[in-house]
Amino acid sequence: MFDIEFKSQRAAALIGERWVEGDRQFAVNNPATGELIALVADLGAEETREAVAAADTAMADWRRVPAKERSRLLRRWFDLVVEHTDQLARLMTLEQGKPLAESRGEVGYGASFIEFYAEEAKRIAGETLPGHGADKRILVVREPIGVVAAITPWNFPLAMITRKCAPALAAGCTVVIKPAEATPLTALALAALALEAGIPAGAINVVTAKSPAAVGEVLTTDPRVRKVSFTGSTPVGKKLLAQCASTVKKTAMELGGNAPFIVFDDADVDAAVEGAIASKYRNAGQTCVCTNRFLVQSGVYDAFVEKLAERVRQLKVGNGQEEGINIGPLINQAAVDKVSAHVADALDKGARLVEGGQTHALGHSFYEPTVLADVTPDMAVAHEETFGPLAAVFRFDQDDQAIAMANDTPFGLAAYFYARDYKRIWHVMEALEYGMVAVNEGLLSTELAPFGGIKESGLGREGSHHGLEEFTELKYVCLGGL
């Protein structure tokens, strides 16, 4: 059993109805202090096959549970998650580092998917179509796709799980979750609450592991798994896609981004700065829809840089467990190294340091919120996802130039822009090659909208009714002899 108050230092994985300690454990540390938080079951291929078997067995009954009952159980899960907001938030901050206020926000955001899909479970409809002969009728039935593998990242330890598992369970699928090695505790707490809500054992399984390759190999090749829903980096996503090919699994790939944030001359600069702070520095810059490149038109360039730097100076860096903190630590030293490398490369090639630019005096994996101006397309930050608190500001003159710069990337997840002119807004929205575009807004995630990317940012959508359909198959039934 997983204790939601988490007073013990050990955590078992969940396979069917068994909490499995395994022969080995791996350490989970607090990124703000380096302290050991927990020893977690380190499972491998064999236990993953057991989890798939448990999900496969449970699927036979779960898919037959009436939609209204599945809805009731999901709703109960939602209620329990909301009731345990403080415990879940504390756990998340402990293992991931984000400020408590953000963790509480993530519990609310993550729970909203459970609430939404509890409602949608009752609205999975098929259709009848005109037949192709006088004695024929066409029926289209929507069925659950089967066992789902959900492989999730550490940056949103709770919401990335509910965004997949709630629609999967609503559709009548069962799931095997492989949480990120840095943040398994939130996943286990969520699963414990799902069981408490009455979701049957086997419908939700959690396989924890220090090294994901063996678990991933089973999840992407076992024929009983019919869908792999992955959120993480583009290189890992490509690898998993290739592995899924051998058994022709459906996949959902929520991958990396390189979001542009364009500020046009006619923008409300103060609003753009507020949007920039939300879009760039939330979760210390470790979100897939984080702005990676600020493209600012010459007429407002200096004002934007100055106001942004002023706001960045007000951000309070520290241990996320303390109230009033805006920026917690990065997830690990490798993350710090990447930000440092992007800053060094940009400065080397002529960028101007406006704010920050150093590892933080707090040590561990803290990095100063940073602003670089006069960034140019030859710098690494133009092409790679920084995933840290670095705002890189580019200058442009003409609208077409901004659009070309914005689209000059293999990624296509989220894009932001600030402008007032109606025609400009419409044209820029159409020209941006992105799955999601935010206009005069710095935050766009909601369970009500389809979230996802194009190009190398991924396949499929999560959220809204589109997110539910991803876990269903269409069955065409030809009725003849009528």
Residues lying near ligand NAD in the complex (CB under 6 A) = 151-156, 160, 178, 180-181, 212-213, 216, 231-233, 236, 239-240, 254-257, 288, 385, 413, 453, 458
In angstroms, give the least distance from the CB of 370 to ligand NAD.
19
Q: How far apart are CA 426 and CA 420, in angstroms?
A: 10
Q: How far is the CB of 343 from ligand NAD (least distance, A)?
A: 19
Q: Give the distance from CA 416 to its chain's centroid.
A: 18
Nearer to ligand NAD among residue 71 and residue 231 (C-beta): 231
Nearer to ligand NAD (CB atom), residue 39 or residue 139:
39
With respect to ligand NAD, which residue has the nearer C-beta, 245 or 404?
A: 245
All residues at 6 or more sequence positions from 480 whose CB lies less than 8 Å from its CB, including other chains: 133, 135, 136
Decide: 292 and 280 in contact? Cβ < 8 Å.
no
The secondary structure of residue 434, as a DSSP letter, is -
Kindly list the distances between the CA atom of residue 327 and the CA atoms of 18, 104, 367, 446, 477, in Å, as whole numbers in the listed order. Answer: 38, 15, 9, 22, 55
Shortest distance in whole angstroms from residue 186 CB to ligand NAD: 12
Axis-axis angle for helices 85-96, 100-120 (nearest 10): 120
**Residue among 144 and 212 whose Cβ is closer to ligand NAD:** 212
| Least CB distance to ligand NAD at residue 24 (A) | 16
Nearer to ligand NAD, 159 or 272 (CB): 159
> What is the phi-psi region of residue 363: left when phi exceeds 0, alpha when psi lies from -120 to 50, beta otherwise?
left
Which H or E element spans position 292? strand 291-297
Nearest to 315 by CA among 223, 393, 389: 389
Least distance from ligand NAD to the Cβ atom of residue 213, Å: 4
Nearer to ligand NAD, 223 or 235 (CB): 235
Least distance from ligand NAD to the Cβ atom of residue 236, Å:
3
Tell me which residue has tokens 């707490």: 189
Provide the minimum distance between the beta carbon of 288 and ligand NAD in the complex, in angstroms, as a whole number: 3
CB 206 within 8 A of CB 13: yes
Helix (H, G, I), strand (E, B) or coil at 402: helix
CA distance 466 to 298: 40
**Token digits of residue 87:** 């415990």
Mapped onto helix, strand or coil, the DSSP state of residue 84 is coil
Considering the complex, state which of residue 62 and residue 434 has its C-beta at the smaller distance from ligand NAD. Answer: 434
Shortest CB 289 distance to ligand NAD, Å: 7
* H, E, C per residue of 28-55: EECCCCCCEEEEEECCCHHHHHHHHHHH
In whole angstroms, how close is the CB of 249 to ligand NAD at the nearest point? 13
Secondary structure element (H or E) that encloses residue 262, with its range: strand 259-263
Q: Which of 95, 106, 120, 254 is catalytic?
A: 254
Residue 441 DSSP one-character state: -
With vertex at residue 185, the alpha carbon angle to CA 197 and CA 103, rounded to the nearest 5 degrees, is 85
Residue with CB nearest ligand NAD? 216
The question of whether 5 is a catalytic residue gets the answer: no
**Burial class of residue 23 in the structure, from the number of CB atoms within 10 Å of its CB (0-12 exposed, 13-18 middle, 19+ buried):** exposed
For ligand NAD, give the closer residue by CB, 233 or 407: 233
Whichever of 257 and 328 has its CB closer to ligand NAD, that residue is 257
233 φ/ψ angles, rounded to the nearest 5 degrees: -80, 155
Please identify every residue annotated as catalytic: 254
